[in-house]
Chain A
Amino acid sequence: MNKRRITALSLSACALLSACRGKAEVTEKYIDPTEASQQIQSMELDTVVKRAEEGFYDDKPMSQANAGVTTDGQYLYDFGSGRNYRVDLQTGQVSGFCRIPGCPHSTGTYGCLDFEHFGSPVATDKGVYYIEENKVMLCDGQTSTCVYTNDYYTQHEQKVRPDHPKDLCAVVIHGNTIYAVGCSFCIPLDRNTYKASEPIQLSDTSILRFSADDRYVYFINQNDEFFCYSLSDNEITKLGDKVVISRQYEGQTYYIQYKEGTPILYRFEDPASTHDKVIENCYVLFAITNGYIYYQHYSTSDIDRSNDELDFTLYLYDMATGEIKAVPGYDPGKRIDIAYSPMIDKIFTIDVRNSMGGYISGKICAFKAGETDYKVIDVEF
């Protein structure tokens, strides 16, 4: 066989395969640039953000409820609806959390962060902190760095998690401190240097909820007992029983305590001072912003009732006047997730579900503090 024959044979193979090529003429577009521009201009949410000295951080407490929702002042993130997404707080634009260059964010895409699990995410202006086994990680949507690795554990961790005693449960941020919360302890980390202080042993049972202010850390154990730990004199004081959540807002601690099956919202400025009753019949996912509390009703007797019999109205409580208003025309038909931060002037009710094939759909309603009108953000993603 000579050179010509071989060359001819190879060229024929190429030509044969080339003949199978389809037409590559494309003139039509999916979205016209002008239309895109108009759509962007029409979007507005205009959230007012207050920035603290320490920069923006979500001071949300550790709690199973609403665990996947967090905000960094620029975006509201939802890591708990089956697909990780974010909402721009200025425009209301919904997009995926994943920022990996070129990622099309589909279920079949390798490595896409929209479908990854982020344990106990807490957003800050540096990125989103989350837990990965015994590590505190910081992710900006493109890269992730480990900021702290925990090696501390007690007999309790050994007992409840014999295979992974060093694993952490949550991240809680207050001021310049990141609390890496374990099963029965917490480790304060400096937010800038990530230097760890000595572990604080809080309980001999598992901690289910955790929050912090300048002087105390508050925790609720698996028996729903509410405690505070003084950061100045290292003392633990029991504050109550049947408590399901506590969190801080503008120097005050709010907590929900069950009394005869009804959840009651209390507040105090100092654990030793009087605890004021704020709202009776307040569901665990309440939201406080600019002197108003948004909440739904809930009672243990509701467990036996069907959804049709229950009241899912969203109420607005004015802390200055004590007036309670129902939000007209808003009936989510279920208990809703509420996201808020003292640093933004809005609260967000989130009603987003998993659809087929890795898609999510639903709506987010943005309420400006004290108002019953709201803007609806459709989530089809």
Chain B
Amino acid sequence: MAYELKKLFSSKLILICLALLAAVFGLLVRHAYENRITDSDETAAFLKELDESGLSDEKKIELVEERISDIQTLIEKGENIQKIQGVYGSLLADAMIYAKARIFVKRMLSEFPGARKRLIMEAYYNLDALGKDPQSDKREAALNELIIEKYNRKIDISLTMTGELTSVTDTFDFSVWDVAFAIFVIMLTVRMFTMDRAAGAAIVIFSTSTKRRCLCVTQIFTVFMSSAVILAAAVGAEVVCGYLFCGVTDLSLPIQMTASFEFCPFLLSVGDYYLLKFLCGLLFCLTLICVTALLCILFRRFLAVMPLSVAIYGVLFAVYCVFRKSVVFDRVNALDDRFVLFRCLRTFLPVALTDLKMYLTSLDHVWIISRYVPRIAVCAAVSVLISFVCVAVGVKLYGRRER
């Protein structure tokens, strides 16, 4: 494997591309830095105080309302609250902190459980109605049971500021870096599988079938491990950026505390999200490497395979982006064909794994063989299957012509 690694990174072109990849990531870091949050410390302190007060949820909301109301009374009396000393600076600063805290406290303690209870109660009610109907659909009953199973689990909400995880995901998830990284992975794979042939070493290397198979798997593994290291570094850097610029300091908090993941049905923490992102990225990498490796084995020349692989990835990515735009930005409703197609793409297209957030914002399950399975799991299984088929075919065909 050391030889394979040397083969990969001895090229200046690869090193330049690696530098470009780092530069693209640097742009995202810069964007995160420019949009950094600076004023969350005092709000976090107030929320911590509130969290540790031992009051009931209702009393906590009342307490925040009272503090705001007291300041409002002073304003109505004509007092200049900017000049009056408050707890966190002037009373004006206090008012801003309390206002921000009120939104957070209400969302966490009132709206969050309220929305869950509504969903659960509706599911119980639907189950009751379905039970009375002998011709009811088994799938519908299973779905309602799943809703209860997933949402009727109390999430350990604390009044700790989660930071702007949404800002992190908006910056780093499904970004230009993913495209650059995918092209880089393709480039690594193509170089790995075409260099021996270009250097004229193929005839010797492919002399025995055992060596061929072993070499094919080793080459795939080397590219995969190289990509994994880069991906791990990127996710690690994202965690650091989240910590430094967006206030995502506690990775053990439930991801549901972030507004955009409120209805995530899985019990995940913020740290889990990063881990899952890494694993999904890894799986996509594996598929990309295996498919590109097969193309290399079939077409053999760098100049033929590189554009072909990039084109295949590019077309699939573009198709995904078009439908994603319709759903996320144009907000087409679920009855629209584009929405339905987007759901299909997220089930079967491995590139969708790089868009993790879309799988975690709602109960996104697929009915397969009498049970609901998370869509992300189906997509992961499809990716593994594609990879397996490509490796199996690739290993069989690798070096056959040279032999």
A interface residues, Cβ below 8 angstroms from B: 1-3, 6-7, 9-10, 13-14, 16-24, 26-31, 33, 36-37, 39-40, 88, 91, 93, 95-96, 98, 100-106, 108-113, 116, 139, 143-144, 357, 381
Contact = CB atoms under 8 A, between A and B. Distances in A.
Interface string B271-283: 1101100100000
B117 interface: yes
Nearest to B142: A101
Contacts of B88: none
B2 A1 contact: yes
B364 A30 contact: no
Given A19-B271, A22-B252, A26-B154, A103 B362 contact: yes
Given A20-B251, A36-B120, A101-B363, 5 more contacts: A17-B274, A18-B275, A95-B122, A104-B363, A110-B328
B40 interface: no
Contact of B254 (A3, A18, A22, A102): A22
Contacts of B225: 6-7, 10
Interface residues of B, number: 64
Interface in B255-274: 259-260, 262-263, 267-272, 274
Contacts of A101: 143, 363, 365
A111 B252 contact: no
Interface stretch (B17-25, B73-81, B229-237, B289-297): B229-237
A21 B334 contact: no
Most buried by A among B111, B125, B151, B339: B125
A106 B247 CA distance: 26
A210 to B, nearest CB: 26
A91 B125 contact: yes
5 contacts: A13-B232, A26-B267, A36-B120, A116-B335, A144-B335
Given A6-B229, A22-B272, A91-B125, A381 B118 contact: yes
Contacts of A24: 267
A86 to B, nearest CB: 11
B202 interface: no
B244 interface: no
Nearest to B111: A357
A38 B333 CA distance: 35
A22 B253 contact: yes
Contacts of A30: 113, 116-117, 120, 151-154
B119 interface: yes
Given A17-B271, A21-B275, A111-B327, A106 B125 contact: no
Contact of A113 (B122, B126, B155, B335): B335
A293 to B, nearest CB: 33
Contacts of A104: 115, 119, 262-263, 362-363
B332 interface: yes
B116 A20 contact: no
B5 A17 contact: no
Contacts of B254: 22
A26 B327 CA distance: 33
Contacts of B1: 2-3, 6
Contacts of A2: 1-2
Contacts of A95: 122, 125-126
Nearest to B264: A104
B402 interface: no
B34 interface: no
Most buried by B among A14, A103, A104, A113: A104
Nearest to B276: A17
Contacts of A16: 236
Contacts of A91: 125
Contacts of A111: 327, 331-336, 339
B302 interface: no
Contacts, number: 163
A105 to B, nearest CB: 8
B113 A109 contact: no
B285 to A, nearest CB: 12
B122 to A, nearest CB: 5
A91 B111 CA distance: 25
B252 A21 contact: yes
B260 A17 contact: no
Contact of B229 (A10, A27, A381): A10
Contacts of A33: 124
Nearest to B119: A104
Contact of B124 (A37, A100, A110, A116): A37
Contact of B152 (A6, A13, A29, A98): A29
A250 to B, nearest CB: 31
Given A108-B259, A357-B111, A116 B333 contact: yes
Given A10-B232, A40-B125, A23 B111 contact: no
A143 B335 contact: yes
A135 to B, nearest CB: 12
B270 A20 contact: yes
Given A13-B236, A14-B278, A17-B235, A31 B252 contact: no
Contacts of A18: 271, 275
Most buried by A among B147, B236, B271, B278: B271
A144 B117 CA distance: 28
A93 B115 contact: no
Contacts of A381: 118
Interface string B354-370: 00000001111100000
Contacts of B120: 30-31, 36
B217 to A, nearest CB: 12
Contacts of A14: 232, 275, 278
A111 B336 CA distance: 8
Contacts of B52: none
Contacts of B153: 26, 28-30
A102 B154 CA distance: 18
A285 to B, nearest CB: 29
B246 to A, nearest CB: 15
B263 A109 contact: yes
Most buried by A among B269, B272, B331, B333: B333
Contacts of A116: 333, 335
Q: 3 closest A-B pairs (Cβ-Cβ)?
A: A20-B271, A22-B269, A111-B334
Nearest to B365: A102
B57 to A, nearest CB: 13
Contacts of A29: 152-154
B128 A40 contact: yes
B124 A31 contact: yes
Contacts of B331: 110-111
A13 B278 contact: yes
Contact of B271 (A3, A22, A37, A102): A22
B121 interface: yes
B125 A93 contact: yes
